[in-house]
Structure formats: C-alpha cells, structure tokens
A and B are shown apart, each in its own frame.
Chain A
Amino acid sequence: MSLSRFWRRAIRGRRTTDRLREQVERELAFHLEMLVQENLEAGMDAAAARAAARQRFGDYDETLAEGSRLRAGTARRRRRADFLDALLQDLSFGLRLFRRNPGFTLVVVFALALGVGANATVFNILNGSFFLPPQGVTDPDRLRALARVVPTRNLDAAAIGNTFTYQELVDYRDHNRVFSGLMAYSSAVMDIGVAGETRRVPGALVSSNFFAVLGAPIALGRAFSINEERERGAHPVAVISHGLWQSRFGADDDILGTEMTLNGRSFTVVGVAAEGFRGHEGWETHEVWVPLSTFREASPGGLASLGNRWTWLRLVGRIEPGISLALARAEMNALSRGLEELNPDEDRRAGVTLAMDPPGSKIDSAEAAGLVPTVFATVGILLFVVWANVSSLFLARMAGRRAEIGVRLALGAGRIRVIRQLLSESTLLALLGGALGFVLALWLDDLLLAWTISGEFARLDLSLDGRAIAFALLLSIVSGAAVAVGSARRVLRLDPGAAMKGQRGATIHASPVRSALAVSQLSMSLALLTCAGLLIGYLHGSREPASVVEPDEILLVSVQPSHQGYTTAQAKVFYRSLLERLGDIPGVRAVSLARSSTTDSSWMKERVTSEDRGEATDESWIETHYGTVSPNYFQTLGSELVAGREFAPDDRDGTSQVVIVNETLAHRLWPGESPLGRRVRIDGWGESGVFEVVGLARDRPTRSGARPFLYFNLFHNHPWPASSCTLVMRTTGNPMSLLPAVQREVQALDPNLPLFDPRTFRTEQRDDSFAAGYRFFSAMTGVPGVLVLVLAAVALYGVISYGVSERTHEIGIRMALGAKRGDVLRQVLRQGLLFALLGTAIGFLTSIALLRFLLFLLDETSEELPMNPGVFVSVSLLLIGVALVASYLPARRASEVDPMVALRAE
C-alpha cells in the first residue's frame, strides 16, 4: 500500500462520527417510514400521516443527536478495549521474541542505553548546574538581582556592574515600592576555628533581612537584627549552615551562644540555617553568614564600608506578587534617577536596572552558553547514530520475518496492526534501554564532574530531578518510534504474495543507504577520536613549560595572614621567619614564596614603560602582567634566570626598588639591549613607581604566545603582600608527605593560621580552569568517539554480513568454478578495508572542521596548534583494525559457503 493511502485511511478515523450519524439517521428513517405506512393504512392523508409519525419521535433532531452521541461513545469504548487487548498481545509476543533472540535484544538495549544515557548525562549536568533551583529558597522566580549600567572609559559600550554601596542599599530598600524585601550580601571566605581546628569556609556578609527575603527559614535561633547590621564593632554574631553545624559542631544541641573564631576573632553563633540551605547561588555556596557591620573582621583587606564610599554589596530583592518584571524595572529606574537628582555629584548612581533571571540560576558566561548547544549537538548526533544502527538491525531482522509477515497480512491482519506490534516491541526495548541508560547517566555524571571540575568549593547537587527522569523517558519513547520507522515503511510496502514465496523483492535498494550509514559512522568516529587525541596532546604539550623542572617535586600551599589581622609589616616579618624555618625542614631542597603560584595565570596587570627613554608617549606604555615573588623563586622552580640575579634578602624597604623582567618585556622595552641596570616606571604609582631591573627571566610559554611579564619583590615595596601567599617548595620525594612538617612550622609561628589548598605544581598546571576546558572537550569528543566506533563496527558488520547473505548464490557459483576459500575471505575483508579507508578519508576532512570549531569554542587560534600527524595515523590504524575485525566474521562465513547448498537455494 502506498503511503498516501495509509494516511488517508488514518484520517478516516475522524469521519467515523459522520458515518455513525448516517447510520442512526438511516435507522430512524426506516422506523419513520413504517409508521407513516401504518398511518396511511389507518386512513390519514399523506401530510397528516407524516406529521403524526414524526411527532412520535419527540424532537427528531434531538433524538438524532443523542443517538449519534451514544453510538460514538460505544464505538470509542470498543476501540479502546480492542487497543488494550492488542497492546497486551503485542507485549507478550514481544517478550517471547526477546527470549528467542537474546543477542538481538541485548545489542539493541545496550545501544539505546548508550544513546539515551549520553543525552541524559548531559541533561542532568546542565539541569543540575543551571536550572535546578537552589535548595531552601522559597519561590526563587520572584527574586531578582539589581544591576547598574555604568558608562565606561571606552564609551562604546556600557558595562553592567552589580555591586552597590551600603547607602544605596538603604536608599533602595527604604524607598522602593516594588519589592517586598531587598537584601544585600557579599561573599567572603573566612577562617573558622572550632575547638582549636581552623579551616577555610565559604560564607557571606549579609543584611538583616537576607534570610527573610530568600524565604530560607532558620532552623535554630535567629537571623540578624537591623542593629547588628548597622552598628560597627558591637555584634560579632554569626549564623551557620546546617552542614557546618553537623560537621564542625557535632550537631550540638547547645549550639546557640557557642563561640567560634572567625578570622581570629571571637564570634557567637546565634542561628543555624535550615537543612540544605547553602545560599541562593548555584555554584557559590555559603556555610556561614555574618552581619554587614563585621566587614572589617570577616573580609579584611576588602574595600567595604557602611557609608557611600565603596561598592561591595550585591542586592537581591523579592518582587511583590502582582507586579510584573517590566513594571519593577521601570520603577527602579525611576527611583535611581530620582536619587541621582538628589546627589548629582555621584556618577555611580547611573541607571539601576533589574537582571532578567533569578540570581544564581542563569548561565553566567558566554562561553558556557556556547558550550550547551555544542555538547548537546555531540550527544544528539550520537543518539541519531544509535537510532540509525538499531533501525538497520530491526530492518535486518524484519528481512528474516518477511514470509511470516506476508502470511499474517494475507490472512487479513491490518498493516496498522502489524506496525503497531512492531512499535510496541521497539518501544519496549527502548524503555529498557532508556532505563539502563538513565542509571548509566547517573554514574557517568559523577565521573565527568570529578574529572573536569576541580576547586575547593565547587559542588553540585545532582539530585534525582523529575525533569531529568521525564527527559530520559521521553527520549526513550521517541527512540522506540524512531527505530521502528524504517521497518514500518517496509511493512507498508510489503507485497504479501511475493513475501510468502520468499522473493527478495526491492531490498537491493536498501544497501547503499546502509553502506553510507556505516561509512559516515566510521568517519565520524575518526573525527571525534582524532580531535580528542589532539586536545589531550595540546593539554600536555602546552602545560609543560620547559622552564619548570620536575613539577612533581614542587609543593604548593597557601596561607592568608591578612585574615588574622596582620599588617603588611607584620606579614613580612612572618614570611621571613617562615622561610628560614621551612628551609630547615629535612627534605626541602629550596623554598620561596609567590603571590600567585602560576604566574602564567596572573591576571593582574599594569602599564609599564622604560624610564630611561625620556617622555613617555602613549605607545611606549606596555600592558604587562605581573607577579610578586620572594628571593630564590626561580631557583626553586628550576628555571634559571637568563641574566642578572634573583631578589636578595638585602632588597628590602629602604634600598632601591628592583624588579625582574622576562625576555618578552625586555625585548619590547629595550630591543637588542640588555635590560640589566635599566629602569622601568609603572603607570600611576607616582614617585615610588620607578624600579631598577636586576634580572632577566626566561619566557614562560603560554597558550597565546609569550607575554611580557614583570616580577616584583615580595619583601619590598608592594601594595598587598599581606593578604595571601603561596609557599613554593622543592622537595625530595613525595612533596605531600612534607605537609605535616610544614604545618608544624607555620603553627609554631602562629597557631591560628591555617594552611590551605596543598597541591603539587603538576596539579596546579592541570587544574588551571583553562585546562579544564580542554579536558572537558576531549571527554566530550573522546567518549562519544569510542562509542560511535563501537556502533560503526556493528553497522559495518551488518552491512557486510547482509551483503554476504545476499550474494550466497553468487559465492557458491564462484567456488564451484574454482575459487578458493582464502580468495573469498580476502575479498570480503578487502570490502571492509575499503569502507575503512573511505571512512578515514572523509573523517580526516571532518576532523579538521571539528577541530577548528572546538578551538574556536576554547578561544584559541588554530594556526599555532598544528595537527599532530601521529594522532591521526594511530586513530586511522585503529579504525582499520576495527573494520577488519568487524568484517572477519562475515568473511569467514562467506568462505565456508558450501557451493552445493548455495547453488540449490535461490
């Protein structure tokens, strides 16, 4: 039957009601006629007879309508019962079939599990990180963050800022009419000491109405009062999270009123938040909250005040019910303009606006936004590949059942019935596969997250979300339909007569499609695996700066003396003593300090120019990244200076200021000359901004080429040495084993000072967030690549195997005419090889495009990163090997054909 007839028959369902209505009309008409007849025989004239007869029906039209309704209801009920019966029958039939063909069932279920699982994995991650509402917050859709639009120096675009002063909080809080509450917060990491043990904990300074606005209840105790928010110094109180209460305080019932140290000061616990509440931002968690007034203690070194000087607070408000977002925005804009008029000199009060999405839930960066469709595209393609493969498996199986289906059709079964059975089989398999895939996804999620995301406080709550389950379920059902489509079309076109006679019919046409499918899968897997291999290669290549010797031997660990209230001078004294003590630890070969550990990733920069060149023009200023290091830094890292010397203990306050430059900077400022003895000026530092160059360091290669870099002396004139520092130590043996000794020395100097973030230099290189991007993408291409390869092998096996069974007759003839088994085997293998080579060629072109695209997403240029031929060659060999293996079984089957048997069969 043609497709159009099929659809016409399906549409007929709508005309059933008309048909039934016709029937009712006919029935009533007959009865009416008989009554008229009676009346005529009784002597009435024609008109009277008709009228009387009609009258017996009451309201004729009403009766007709009611009758049609009832008949339609009956028809529906019967259809439903039939449908259920048929469904049950199909299911039991399907189950029996699965038991008879366990191989087929297993392959299909696993393939679908892969496809659905991969998609579910991605969906889970994205759902959890970006779309799940934060726990403990009531009605987060009504929350909006305030943002401000500020003109920038460039005048081309306005920047969006999201921090405000305390005075602005008060003004907006008191004068707005659209928020039921407006709160402020500022995140800060604090050192919390309980029972002698101090650890870093993420937290926030919050306004008194923080918990109220978020709708996050306090489980024990209370939140903060307005006085606590406003009065400096008088209220060292804190609210802790439920988790913190359990882990650090042992869920002590007497928690309220307990003291703990926060950055060395004593704070009193006055409240415990509800279980599960960790702030309203998805990625940023808070475990402790303190009032805004404690900013000096909780966030020392931060620029904050309770006046109008510093913008440090983020503002989030809950929109009143019944007020639209547009109205709220207009109101806030008007309010800010009104306030601006009251204080015309403050240009900070420029247009306040509202963010579009609830805070913490949106995808924050453009790259993340670009990530989502890419990743989905990849796993989406994988799913399509799975569908194609399973579909062809179904087709192959259907070929074997052609005769049986022909008989059924000839005996009167509707084609729809047959297709429905097919559909229920495939859906059943798909649901099984989907369930398996979902379980797989949960496991895969954990794995992926552990591998790509690092960092102390990154944490993701991937609870079993209804949305994730619904997604997997939907995908399974759609898969069930998708894989049955091809077979369904076959059923529609099947000629029962020919099928029963065993003729092959129009199946020859199917082969080119399946061959193309196999080749495309081969090429896709090549492209994916090649890209994965290349990305991993870049990861290792670029992160291996030749200048750092043996990064596995270097221990890095950070301290933050500013948290304990150290002044700059005190910190320097502390560092000096510490360096001495650390140097004495057996096993420590060299020790130094650095403001940030990998200077490559320093994003602090200044404008630098040469002092010796007279008047500085605009071009002579060079934007330079800088780092701050102690004496012995370069030696510790094993990267010798090209010229000059390191900082010495004598370089300190009072002596002339010195810096070390790298090759690129030296080349830019004094091309062709030695920089030693030259002087540089830092823009904006005034008189104290002139430094003498005493050393020339090697360039550290970064991904975007060599950058100019400047090293300041930690012990000399530097703005903020106190805040945090990383100890850099070269050790013998395993660096982490020396950690307890280091800790002892630090605590000998100050028992309240915690160490945090111990790692080796190698780990540091790896955990660079940039590296995470590479690793994420190499996972996103590598894993699907392997999967597609497996599926491609299955597809290739199917194609070759099918070809062999089609040509059994032909093979028989050839063998009867003298062809040897070996020849036949080789010929089939050659076919498989051909597929592999074709796939390799196409895959090569595809991989170039894919690589370029991935590098674009990673913000790189492709010219600098050459296509490593080694990777490509090895993947191609892998592909060819797999293809040969896949072709071997059918090849052997072909070579074992018995000419006599083959010739006798048709």
Chain B
Amino acid sequence: MAKSLTKAESLRGALDLLVLRVLSRGPRHGYAIARLIRDLSDDALRIEEGSLYPALYRMERAGWVTASWGTNENNRRVRVYELTAAGEQQLAAEVTGWESFARAVGKVVDST
C-alpha cells in the first residue's frame, strides 16, 4: 500500500474488525493488540491509542470480549481481553461486511 492509513476516519470503521480478528488469535492486552496490528500490517496500520481503548470498552459492554486483570512476563499488571462466542459471531459478520465493501469498491475502481 502506498499511503499509510493513519487517518482516524479511515481506520475507525475497520477498528472493531481489526481488534476482533487479532483477539481471535488469542487473548491479549491492549498494547499487544496495537502492536500486533502494526506488525501484521507491516507498519501500515498504526491504531490511535485514543480510539483503541474506548473501542475495547465498548466491545466489552456489548459482550463481544471479556477482560480480566493478569500479569505479563515482566510481572506487570495488565488487563487482558478475550474473545467471547458472541464476539466470534460479530467477527464473522464484520469480515463478511468488509469483504462485500472491498468488492464493491473494487468494482468501481476497476470499471472502464
């Protein structure tokens, strides 16, 4: 990708999707989620921390994730988020939605 999509607007729509997908790989705390998104996208997607945590809390309220306090390898207290069954369903829905969106955009871009 040529441009880095750091603009909050473009990311926000996909934020839930990204977070849920990351969590589907296993429970993580907030920093680790952001880090993983960055790494998986080869540094193209840098989530704004100011949006990440509200998003996490919202998802917790909606019941898509649960959170609990634990300790990391350095014995620091961290809040670890885990995907719930409802969260998995939500993830599937978001993926489907994203794919339809991408297809639609592709059709317009590829049109002659």
Residue interface mask B39-73, A partner, CB < 8 A = 1: 00000001011110110011011000000010000
Residue interface mask A316-357, B partner, CB < 8 A = 1: 000000000000000000000000000000000000000000
Contact A63 B77 (CB under 8 A): no
Q: Whole-angstrom distance from the CB of A641 to the nearest CB of chain B?
A: 97
Contact B49 A30 (CB under 8 A): no
Residue numbers in A under 8 Å from B50 (CB-CB):
56-60, 62-63
Q: Whole-angstrom distance from the CB of B53 to the nearest CB of chain A?
A: 5
Q: Whole-angstrom distance from the CB of B31 to the nearest CB of chain A?
A: 5
Residue numbers in A under 8 Å from B103 (CB-CB):
none
Residue numbers in B under 8 Å from A70 (CB-CB):
54, 57-58, 60-61
Q: A31 at interface (Cβ–Cβ under 8 A)?
A: yes
Residue numbers in B under 8 Å from A35 (CB-CB):
31, 49
A26-B77, A30-B31 as given contacts; A66 in contact with B49, CB under 8 Å: no
Q: B78 at interface (Cβ–Cβ under 8 A)?
A: yes
Q: Whole-angstrom distance from the CB of B67 to the nearest CB of chain A?
A: 9
Judged by DSSP, the binding face of B is helix
Residue of B nearest to A27 (CB): B79
Expressed in whole angstroms, the Cα–Cα distance for A236 and B84 within the complex equals 87
Q: A28 at interface (Cβ–Cβ under 8 A)?
A: yes
A26-B77, A31-B30 as given contacts; A63 in contact with B54, CB under 8 Å: yes
Q: A24 at interface (Cβ–Cβ under 8 A)?
A: yes
Expressed in whole angstroms, the Cα–Cα distance for A34 and B78 within the complex equals 12
Q: B3 at interface (Cβ–Cβ under 8 A)?
A: no
Expressed in whole angstroms, the Cα–Cα distance for A63 and B54 within the complex equals 7
Expressed in whole angstroms, the Cα–Cα distance for A32 and B31 within the complex equals 9
Expressed in whole angstroms, the Cα–Cα distance for A28 and B50 within the complex equals 9
Report A11-67 residues with CB < 8 Å from chain B CB: 23-24, 26-28, 30-32, 34-35, 56-60, 62-63, 66-67
Contact A67 B54 (CB under 8 A): yes
Residue numbers in A under 8 Å from B77 (CB-CB):
26, 30
Q: Whole-angstrom distance from the CB of A786 to the nearest CB of chain B?
A: 58
**Chain-B contact segment, one of A71-79, A563-571, A835-843:** A71-79
Q: B76 at interface (Cβ–Cβ under 8 A)?
A: yes
Residue of A nearest to B58 (CB): A70
Among A26, A56, A74, which residue has its beta carbon within 8 angstroms of that of B49?
Answer: A56
Expressed in whole angstroms, the Cα–Cα distance for A485 and B18 within the complex equals 53
Residue numbers in B under 8 Å from A24 (CB-CB):
53
Residue numbers in B under 8 Å from A77 (CB-CB):
61
Q: B34 at interface (Cβ–Cβ under 8 A)?
A: yes
Contact A67 B49 (CB under 8 A): no
Residue numbers in B under 8 Å from A63 (CB-CB):
49-50, 53-54
Expressed in whole angstroms, the Cα–Cα distance for A340 and B70 within the complex equals 90
Contact B61 A30 (CB under 8 A): no
Report A57-111 residues with CB < 8 Å from chain B CB: 57-60, 62-63, 66-67, 70-71, 73-74, 77
Contact A73 B31 (CB under 8 A): no
Contact B54 A30 (CB under 8 A): no
Judged by DSSP, the binding face of A is helix
Expressed in whole angstroms, the Cα–Cα distance for A73 and B57 within the complex equals 10
Residue interface mask B73-88, A partner, CB < 8 A = 1: 0001111000000000
Expressed in whole angstroms, the Cα–Cα distance for A30 and B61 within the complex equals 22
Residue of B nearest to A75 (CB): B61
Contact A73 B53 (CB under 8 A): no
Residue numbers in A under 8 Å from B34 (CB-CB):
31
A56-B48, A57-B49 as given contacts; A27 in contact with B54, CB under 8 Å: no
Residue numbers in A under 8 Å from B76 (CB-CB):
30
Residue numbers in B under 8 Å from A71 (CB-CB):
57, 60
Among A28, A34, A59, which residue has its beta carbon within 8 angstroms of that of B53?
Answer: A28
Query: Number of B interface residues, CB 8 Å?
Result: 20
Contact A74 B60 (CB under 8 A): yes
Residue numbers in B under 8 Å from A58 (CB-CB):
48-51
Among B31, B57, B78, which residue has its beta carbon within 8 angstroms of that of A74?
Answer: B57
Expressed in whole angstroms, the Cα–Cα distance for A26 and B69 within the complex equals 11
Residue interface mask A734-750, B partner, CB < 8 A = 1: 00000000000000000
Residue numbers in A under 8 Å from B53 (CB-CB):
24, 27-28, 31, 63, 67
Expressed in whole angstroms, the Cα–Cα distance for A88 and B103 within the complex equals 49
Residue of A nearest to B55 (CB): A70
Expressed in whole angstroms, the Cα–Cα distance for A73 and B58 within the complex equals 9
Q: Whole-angstrom distance from the CB of A66 to the nearest CB of chain B?
A: 5
Residue of A nearest to B76 (CB): A30
Residue of B nearest to A70 (CB): B57
Residue numbers in B under 8 Å from A66 (CB-CB):
54
Residue of A nearest to B60 (CB): A74
Expressed in whole angstroms, the Cα–Cα distance for A32 and B49 within the complex equals 9
Residue of B nearest to A32 (CB): B49
Expressed in whole angstroms, the Cα–Cα distance for A66 and B52 within the complex equals 12
Residue of A nearest to B53 (CB): A67
Residue of A nearest to B33 (CB): A31
Expressed in whole angstroms, the Cα–Cα distance for A30 and B57 within the complex equals 16
Residue numbers in A under 8 Å from B61 (CB-CB):
70, 73-74, 77
Residue of B nearest to A38 (CB): B35
Expressed in whole angstroms, the Cα–Cα distance for A217 and B69 within the complex equals 71
Expressed in whole angstroms, the Cα–Cα distance for A74 and B57 within the complex equals 8
Residue of B nearest to A63 (CB): B50
Expressed in whole angstroms, the Cα–Cα distance for A133 and B34 within the complex equals 68
Residue of B nearest to A59 (CB): B50
Q: Whole-angstrom distance from the CB of A259 to the nearest CB of chain B?
A: 78
Q: Whole-angstrom distance from the CB of A68 to the nearest CB of chain B?
A: 9
Q: Whole-angstrom distance from the CB of A37 to the nearest CB of chain B?
A: 10
Residue numbers in A under 8 Å from B78 (CB-CB):
27, 30
Residue numbers in B under 8 Å from A62 (CB-CB):
50
A23-B79, A26-B77 as given contacts; A31 in contact with B57, CB under 8 Å: no
Expressed in whole angstroms, the Cα–Cα distance for A62 and B49 within the complex equals 12
Residue numbers in B under 8 Å from A59 (CB-CB):
50
Residue numbers in B under 8 Å from A30 (CB-CB):
29-31, 76-78
Among A23, A27, A73, which residue has its beta carbon within 8 angstroms of that of B30?
Answer: A27
Q: Whole-angstrom distance from the CB of B86 to the nearest CB of chain A?
A: 14
Residue numbers in A under 8 Å from B29 (CB-CB):
30
Contact B79 A34 (CB under 8 A): no
Expressed in whole angstroms, the Cα–Cα distance for A28 and B54 within the complex equals 11
Determine which residue in B50, B51, B78 has the highest number of CB atoms from chain A within 10 A of its CB, and name it. B50
Expressed in whole angstroms, the Cα–Cα distance for A648 and B49 within the complex equals 116
Residue numbers in A under 8 Å from B30 (CB-CB):
27, 30-31
Residue of A nearest to B8 (CB): A58
Residue numbers in A under 8 Å from B46 (CB-CB):
56
Expressed in whole angstroms, the Cα–Cα distance for A58 and B11 within the complex equals 15
Expressed in whole angstroms, the Cα–Cα distance for A27 and B72 within the complex equals 13
Q: Whole-angstrom distance from the CB of A670 to the nearest CB of chain B?
A: 100
Residue numbers in A under 8 Å from B60 (CB-CB):
70-71, 74
Expressed in whole angstroms, the Cα–Cα distance for A31 and B69 within the complex equals 14
Residue of B nearest to A66 (CB): B54
Q: Whole-angstrom distance from the CB of A52 to the nearest CB of chain B?
A: 12
Residue of B nearest to A58 (CB): B50
Q: Whole-angstrom distance from the CB of B68 to the nearest CB of chain A?
A: 11
Residue numbers in A under 8 Å from B58 (CB-CB):
70
Given pairs A27-B78, A31-B49, A70-B57, 18 additional interface contacts (CB within 8 A): A23-B69, A27-B79, A28-B49, A28-B53, A30-B76, A31-B30, A31-B34, A35-B31, A58-B49, A59-B50, A62-B50, A63-B50, A66-B54, A67-B53, A70-B61, A73-B61, A74-B61, A77-B61
- Closest 10 pairs between A and B when the two form their complex, measured CB to CB: A58-B50, A70-B57, A74-B61, A31-B31, A57-B49, A63-B50, A34-B31, A57-B50, A56-B49, A27-B79
Give B residues with C-beta under 8 Å from A.
29-31, 34, 46, 48-51, 53-54, 57-58, 60-61, 69, 76-79
Give A residues with C-beta under 8 Å from B.
23-24, 26-28, 30-32, 34-35, 56-60, 62-63, 66-67, 70-71, 73-74, 77
27 contacts between A and B (CB under 8 A): A23-B69, A26-B77, A27-B30, A27-B53, A27-B79, A28-B53, A30-B29, A30-B78, A31-B30, A31-B53, A35-B31, A56-B48, A58-B48, A58-B51, A59-B50, A60-B50, A63-B50, A63-B54, A67-B53, A67-B57, A70-B54, A70-B57, A70-B60, A70-B61, A71-B57, A73-B61, A74-B60
